[in-house]
Structure 1
């Protein structure tokens, strides 16, 4: 069960003018399951995207990168059940054929379509089922189908993930709505996740790619479930330019900062929802590292903690075996780290100071915190003023069960 995460309600998700979404059951892997989604973007929309850093990237990721470089994206097509990864040249042919099929129905060029796939790796993409399902997805296209889309991109997720916010820009109400999926193979750079974030804000097209990178860096690149980087990670940012205010030409302007803050809030909620719904997760854990010489150094330590199976299983058991956290700090790779400068906190409980157990720390206090469903681990390195934060979850018996049974 997801950790303090509820299913979104359709009425809470604001439609984004310029975006229509259709969902169909194409039988990609299983019958009677929403597994094919199309996004239709009005002319004048701008798109940016961030993709996996796994060198063994899926065919749709390769095609997306090619098409985004050309610009003028007008449609997205997403299938679940099959990742079209590890499929060689045949996978590329099928990804491109999917774009061609949708483009023909919309009177577009194939390069104006972005394909996305998620699911089982190293199986041929069932192209004929996807193509056959496109008419139903197109017939279903409506501005208010964000919840249906969140359901249609799920794999091992237990809940759909979708959030929406509105902000005032230039006297106009601007909408930001997004969806994501992901529950396992989650770590930065990015994860086996898909994320789609749209706004009707008027934004200079040149800002979309740097904005997508910044949003990913502050959200999806700050989460980890199991430390595995997937083959299909994709995060797409869309601006339809229909809100009617003066265009945002700088993200550092007052309007740019307001828009960026609203979009970052939604992106972080989506990223954190993935951790809250991590496979078998029972606890949501914030790892905050302070007192580093750089933010990168703090992230390095935070991820050493967040990726540690020993730390994560201790959290599942509510076992305050906190030497595991200090050990992870020590092997994070900071060669000149002085253990005598390190302090460790669990929520408000001061566990260790100057590299050793705090004299007044009591294990029952640590266990009280470890039993909570939401926990903050705070490490102070004592070597600078930088800080950074990542979000993770525990490892449970169910994580193994889910991944052992995934293909069945």
Structure 2
């Protein structure tokens, strides 16, 4: 049996050879990225990486080491991609100035809805606006240049992501240019003279029903899904039935002349909804603090880990990650990731460049300021 000191000496000698070979390998990687840049090629070449892995696994004599060799080769290629990404010329981002005059904003719902409140909090009460029935109608209006900005909810603190709007942002290729978070107080509304015990059925947006489920269940009130909270309030006002109520805002109660039968009945009293402001072009104000992106990954072990590693290695805080099914590809996903940062930071740009080299597809969704009401 070899003594420990002999083993360590042999490892040091092997490490010296590995370092020498590693430097030579990265030197060749530098030549590779020059060729790729000159010919407009992506850094990540899936078929080539599969060939490299398989070719090297076939060279392994001690088959017990197969998995270790696979990880060794994959790690080397990951490092090579990161190095190539740092050398690849950055394509200048086309950033436009925010529109400040004669702005027209679109939102889903009717006057008095939470989307309407978020829009006014972000743009001011006097902004010209158009309301639309469906979330996608807002995106279509922006595409058709009927509006300059759209406002839709993206996430609630108690019920989670509104996944339709994640998908629509990606589908239409728009950019997130702002975020407005508002406190959501859900109220039971009824016609004048109605009382809580009169209410047998209630209408609201599915999120409104979810956020007040405990109160509704405790009072045995039947739930009905409706387009949005304010539209539900309008329905109740037009119906005139004491047995029918709505879950909506106090603004909707005032707008449609309803009584607040039970205020703030949400399950979570810290209930907030995050709304995004989106536009046709990328805007990145100097005080922007949040970056959003969407990407797809190769369908293999460790691919998501590599993304997380890059973010960690650049000392960037990842605020959230959300996955959505990739249409036509069972068990594969889009990944939406938010990180803290600004596009004026070289370290952030370097991380984004490396992420582009690691992912199958990558799109920057925006760099924006976050506001709270």
Greater Cα radius of gyration, structure 1 or 2: 2
TM-score bracket, shorter-length normalisation: under 0.3
From the two aligned structures, give the one with the greater helix fraction.
2
TM-score normalised by the chain length of structure 1? 0.22
TM-score normalised by the chain length of structure 2? 0.24
